[in-house]
Structure 1
Amino acid sequence: MFSSFFSTAPPTDPQAPNFHPVSSKLKPTELFGELKPKDTELLCTSSGFVTETQIFYITTPDGKSIMCQLIHSSVGVWYPTIQFTCKIYDSKTQKSTWKSIHVTNFTSAPPGLDRRSCKADEFSFTYKSKSDSEYPESYIVQANPAPDVQIFLEVTRPASVSGWKVGSGDEGGYSQFGPDPSNPEGYVVHRFWPLIKASGHVVLSGKATPVEGQGMFVHAIQGMRPNLVAASWNFGNFQSPELGGVSAIQMEFTTIDAYGMKGAGSGGVTVNVGSLVVGNKLVAVTAETKYPGETNNADAPVKSRVAHLSPVLDAETGYQKPCELLFEWAGPSLLADRPGTYKASIKADVGDVAQPKGLIEKVDVLAEIPKVLKMAVNYVAGTKPYIYQWMNPAKLAINEPGSDVPVEANGYMYIEATFIS
């Protein structure tokens, strides 16, 4: 399966769909797919063009953010490149610490552990299971990416907040590229723990700081060259300890022109998946597909979308950056005692180019990815991908089933907007 990453054979019908989004395959009541143990096992393939990542995002009540990420990149004829990256950010002081290193002696399934765990000389993710516990799954995250940075975190998943993918079974979570979804040219898949509890500490330049907070975990795989997957990405992660524990997350990508519902040239299809946690319970999984030329239906019973508002040209990057971003969720309740639809929304103000609000960094992607990956991707001249990263205080408005009066949760919103082409 997924063996034809580099196939260029056209479909028999040039107007046949050559993109099959996960967000359009399922009925609203079929969106939630519970994770199985193998869903969070590391693939760590060394064949084809596959980029795999596992990321922990932690937010503290006083506005600090800790991100720890494994990136395993296979580029076909070369040996895989394995990176560990971390970013520690304080929204109050606006101080950011960023480390990205190539690791040594990497292995998945270390002795005595399965492929949900991995380690290298510079870091380790150690998975633990405690069935029938209030926190049935956990990771110990340890990292020493530089002499002046050490991280130790225990992250746990509450039993009331299931991990999820869009759709159940082995095909759950997958969007396939190419005319034949049973033998695709490539794929994208995401699996989430939408709310995790975290405790531990970070050490920066010899000073230890305790960490207590909540966040999310994602395991994602791109089974093709990243410049062929999408023209843009959006990511939103809202976390709040209010109302017993609230999380609202979204992951969105828009295909390049080559992949669409009427073959090559019909691309620009937007796939968005997300979820809502309210009261420390997973209450809804959301998904939406938007095709080129479509307008948003404000009254849609199921939606998962982000809109860039008041865009302005950023001369540094050459892209139209938003001054505000609107995130919206709507989906069937997963709670047996609360039938109906859960809805939520956030409008995030990130400022203009001259006066940004909560801007952590504008990441020059080509400056960060390994040289061998740049060579394999072979970006066309003039293309310069950038990731905007913001973190700000935010307020999530939640409409529970049967209620027209929203309840609000105050927390912090971490946002990424990625421009590729």
Structure 2
Amino acid sequence: MFNWAKQTLANVVGTEEPIYGPSAIKSVAEDAKSTPYTEISRDDLKWNALDQTSVETQVFYFMADSGHIGLAQIIYSNVAGIRTTVQFNSKIFYTDGSKPHLWCSNPLSEVDFSEDKTSFYAKDCAVVLSEDGKSYTIKSMNDERSIVNLKLTRTAPGFVAGKDGKTLYGTDLANPWGTMRHAFWPRCEAEGSIVTPDGPVDFKGRAVYIMCLQGMKPHHAAARWNFLDFQGPNYSAILMEFTTPPSYGATVVDVGGIVKDGEIITAGTTCRATHTKTKQDTVNGWPEPTEAKYTWSGTTKDGKTVEAVVEGPTERQDCVDVMAEVPGFVKTIVANAAGTKPYIYQFAPHKPVTLKLKIGDEEITEEGRLFSEATFISAIEEAK
């Protein structure tokens, strides 16, 4: 009971958590030992809109045939059940350096959900799941610099790791005080545009969709993040990795998969991101990865072994100082947290990147495009 009280205090006022250790987290990898992944349906894409400290997001990443990379994101945040704030973010990466990246972040009002909680509505903004559960439309007129009208349609099944995708936090895991869950559509076709002051940017191409629920303070749930999105003509690869703070044993949790149109080749928690070369960022002190390696292993439905790797230079596109750029509610959540210094590095190599894939005895090499992120929030060295 005392731990629960300390956790509640930490949630409300932002104090650091005590060291509970690795026994206070149940990684989704435990479930994945018996059920590596579960294909998802419309019911698995419902908003939770929790009445407690939490951050829930829908994020869509776009790789346009034109070369642009874009993202659209809803962030639904609740602080201690006292205040809910909702934000719509959009970003266009001009990867050729022809223009500064366009980043827009706007608070939303008049927030509502469809009756079945699968679609989101706000004033001048809507993210709607189709009746057949296979496509989303994203429309926003919240910022005249970024008028969003996009649609993505999944071409491969979506999945969660394990049975339900959840990692649990708490000293009594039968009654956890926190959760983390990711659901993925790793391969989608995209269409539509974002209209900017310089005209429309066509996002016909490929896309990825991720729904994430952090059912606790985000900087208590994770101290580090790695994310990779690879899109090739025939294959897509996705990987999401987080490392908990020392309070939960600096535990590393990975979720990812390799898919092609109509089929998940393999998915689950046996994947890993490794920063193979780093340099210290003189601005913030974090070890920025300059080269990285991403690996996946697993089996197909018919029992063939699968191994995959993507590696090479990262090529930084941007570094986001979260405290300076994201909305005020995030500052509210992390303002009092000692040692919290969140930065998101965003990478996209200009040259095609190679996915090396082995399915049984068959070796496949495919060139494609890569977008990745490395996020540093707080130090994890204390756990070593």
TM-score normalised over the length of structure 1: 0.81
Deviation at 1:8?
A: 7.6
Q: Give the structure 2 partner of residue 24 of structure 1.
A: 30
Deviation at 1:75?
A: 0.3
Q: Give the structure 2 partner of residue 152 of structure 1.
A: 149
What letter matches 1:318 in structure 2?
A: G
1:236 aligned onto 2:238? no
Distance in 2 separating the partners of 1:327 and 1:188: 22
Q: Give the structure 1 partner of residue 13 of structure 2.
A: none
Structure 2 spans left out of the alignment, 5+ residues: 11-19, 379-384
Matches within 5 A, 1:11-410: 17-27=23-33, 30-45=35-50, 47-93=51-97, 95=99, 96-109=101-114, 114-130=116-132, 137-158=134-155, 161-168=156-163, 172-205=164-197, 207-240=199-232, 242=233, 245-259=234-248, 267-287=249-269, 303-334=270-301, 336=302, 339-350=303-314, 357=315, 359-392=316-349, 393-403=352-362, 406-410=363-367
Deviation at 1:94?
A: 5.4
**394-403 or 81-90, larger mean C-alpha shift:** 394-403
Deviation at 1:276?
A: 0.3
Q: Give the structure 1 partner of residue 382 of structure 2.
A: none
Q: Deviations over 1:106-157 (max 9, x none)?
A: 1111xxx631111112321111123xxxxx6111111123213212112112
Distance in 2 separating the partners of 1:40 and 1:233: 22
SS in 2 for 1:408: strand
Deviation at 1:66?
A: 1.5
SS in 2 for 1:146: coil
**Alpha carbons of structure 1 residues 94 and 253: separation in structure 2 relative to 1, 3 Å:** farther
How high is the sequence identity, in percent, across the aligned residues?
A: 30
CA RMSD, aligned part only? 2.1
TM-score normalised over the length of structure 2: 0.88
Deviation at 1:280?
A: 4.8
Q: Deviations over 1:170-224 (max 9, x none)?
A: xx11101112222012110111111111111221115123321112111100011
SS in 1 for 2:142: strand
Are the counterparts in 1 of residues 356 and 364 from structure 2 also a CA contact under 8 Å? yes
Deviation at 1:15?
A: 7.2
Are the counterparts in 2 of residues 238 and 413 from structure 1 also a CA contact under 8 Å? yes
Deviation at 1:61?
A: 3.2
**Alpha carbons of structure 1 residues 374 and 17: separation in structure 2 relative to 1, 3 Å:** same
Distance in 2 separating the partners of 1:195 and 1:163: 8
**Alpha carbons of structure 1 residues 15 and 326: separation in structure 2 relative to 1, 3 Å:** closer
Deviation at 1:163?
A: 1.1
Distance in 2 separating the partners of 1:233 and 1:310: 17
**Alpha carbons of structure 1 residues 117 and 16: separation in structure 2 relative to 1, 3 Å:** closer
Are the counterparts in 2 of residues 63 and 412 from structure 1 also a CA contact under 8 Å? no
**408-417 or 366-375, larger mean C-alpha shift:** 366-375
**Alpha carbons of structure 1 residues 15 and 195: separation in structure 2 relative to 1, 3 Å:** closer
Which structure dedicates a bigger proportion of its chain to helix? 2
**Alpha carbons of structure 1 residues 239 and 18: separation in structure 2 relative to 1, 3 Å:** same
Q: Give the structure 2 partner of residue 300 of structure 1.
A: none
Distance in 1 separating the partners of 2:56 and 2:326: 13
Are the counterparts in 2 of residues 227 and 379 from structure 1 also a CA contact under 8 Å? no
Structure 1 spans left out of the alignment, 5+ residues: 131-135, 260-266, 288-302, 351-356
Q: Deviations over 1:301-347 (max 9, x none)?
A: xx30010112221111111111101000111113x4xx311221111
Are the counterparts in 2 of residues 99 and 145 from structure 1 also a CA contact under 8 Å? no
What letter matches 1:348 in structure 2?
A: G
What letter matches 1:198 in structure 2?
A: A
Are the counterparts in 2 of residues 117 and 126 from structure 1 also a CA contact under 8 Å? yes
Deviation at 1:372?
A: 4.1
Q: Deviations over 1:69-90 (max 9, x none)?
A: 0000000243201000011113
Are the counterparts in 1 of residues 119 and 127 from structure 2 also a CA contact under 8 Å? yes
